[in-house]
Amino acid sequence: MPGVSQVIPNAEKDHLVPQVLNIPEEEFNLEPLSRELIPGARLRTRAFIKVQDGCDNRCSFCITTLARGRGRSRPVADILANINEVVNDSSSNPSSAKEVVLTGVHLGSWGSDFSNPLHLSDLVKTILRDTDVPRLRLSSLEPWDLDEDFFSLWDDTRLCRHLHLPLQSGSADVLRRMARKTTPGAFASLVEAARAACPEIAITTDLIAGFPGETEQEFLETMDFVRKVSFAGGHVFTYSPRPGTAAESMPDQVPFPLRKERNAMVREVLFESEQAYQNHFINHTLPVLWESVTSLDSDIWHLRGLTDNYLRVSTQAPHQLWNQITPVLLTRIKDRGFEGVIPPI
């Protein structure tokens, strides 16, 4: 590659400066550059803690395995230390994070690479037992990493009632070509088990429109499946080939305009189910973590935040409640979120 003098693998990026400048590692003080915990876009209300990197799967559309390498899990002790650092006595410290989000490229595989393998559920139980994090949220999880026992974790109400389970397609044949380790039937059973354990849980998803070889029939199967499962929301991606992936060279690539058309159609179905999920919560009172606060007047504040089941809520209040969790009566839906009223204390 002309102009490229050195390639630093992703796993080595923390050592990028000494490598590029050719400074011996021991002479280079990493302290000012060592990665800080990412407190989230909105100051410190939510902290994203990366507990895992890489992936051992080979989904045929995905470049991640090539880019990030094999799955690696961080030790429990390091994760607990990170969480205690950001939570830092949350009841008395107004600026400590009120929510921790566990992230990873393949989060559900956490612990499987240890010499004594563990499961993500072991990590979640330990965090809930050994820290006083007010809210714990899980980022995206592959459906084949979970079983029915996993949902007993929601007995602890600090675990946010939100699961993001990427489906990608509702057609068994397309899932096979994608090399996904699930089927529509297995996915539906998992969702059923999650809802049995935690009835109001928000289940969101990712879908790919126009995967190579996707026939009209297979696309309609996805539309039907999305209607049947009734997700609380999600993302639809128009398939685009990634160099070096198996899907790139698959036959019968779907013409781009048709991919876009299918994206719009499945997006609409997903939006309908999102609305149905939201409608259920009108006139319900839910706890909201206020993440963004704007002063409207000397004694009126505009507050925006999230419920534990990932509903966006805004309200006006006479108090500046940034980084506090308060109950809110959800009164109406506006702009894909809710307007609410904080009941008098």
Contact set with ligand SF4 (CB under 6 A): 55, 57-59, 62, 64-65, 105-106, 142
Nearer to ligand SF4, 57 or 84 (CB): 57
Nearer to ligand SF4, 99 or 142 (CB): 142
Beta bridge partners of 238: 209
User: 143 phi and psi, to 5 degrees?
Assistant: -60, -30
- Identify the CA nearest to 282 among candidates 207, 215, 229, 338: 338
Residue type, 106: H
Q: Closest approach of Cβ 66 to ligand SF4, in Å?
A: 9
Nearer to ligand SF4, 207 or 328 (CB): 207
- Identify the CA nearest to 257 among candidates 207, 211, 210, 213: 210
Nearer to ligand SF4, 98 or 106 (CB): 106
* Number of residues assigned to the chain: 345
Q: Closest approach of Cβ 96 to ligand SF4, in Å?
A: 31
Nearer to ligand SF4, 245 or 309 (CB): 245
CA atoms within 13 A on the CB side of 137: 23
Sequence-separated (6 or more) residues with CB below 8 Å from residue 6? 19, 20
Nearer to ligand SF4, 241 or 337 (CB): 241
Cα separations in angstroms, 103 against 2, 48, 84, 99, 340: 36, 7, 16, 13, 30
Q: Closest approach of Cβ 110 to ligand SF4, in Å?
A: 13
Q: Closest approach of Cβ 56 to ligand SF4, in Å?
A: 8
Q: Closest approach of Cβ 143 to ligand SF4, in Å?
A: 10
Q: How far apart are CA 264 and CA 266, in angstroms?
A: 6
Is the Cβ–Cβ distance between 330 and 313 less than 8 Å? Answer: yes
Instruction: Name the residue with tokens 């489906």.
Output: 167
Q: Closest approach of Cβ 186 to ligand SF4, in Å?
A: 15
Nearer to ligand SF4, 55 or 247 (CB): 55
Q: How far apart are CA 3 and CA 7, in angstroms?
A: 11
First vs last C-alpha separation in the chain? 64
Nearer to ligand SF4, 87 or 175 (CB): 175
- Identify the CA nearest to 173 among candidates 133, 213, 135: 213
Structure tokens at 218: 């297979």
Q: Is 152 helix (H, G, I), strand (E, B) or coil?
A: helix
Burial class (CB in 10 A: 0-12, 13-18, 19+), 35: exposed
Q: Closest approach of Cβ 144 to ligand SF4, in Å?
A: 9
What is the DSSP pairing of strand 285-297 with strand 233-238?
A: unpaired
Q: Closest approach of Cβ 58 to ligand SF4, in Å?
A: 6
Q: Closest approach of Cβ 168 to ligand SF4, in Å?
A: 8
Nearer to ligand SF4, 175 or 232 (CB): 175
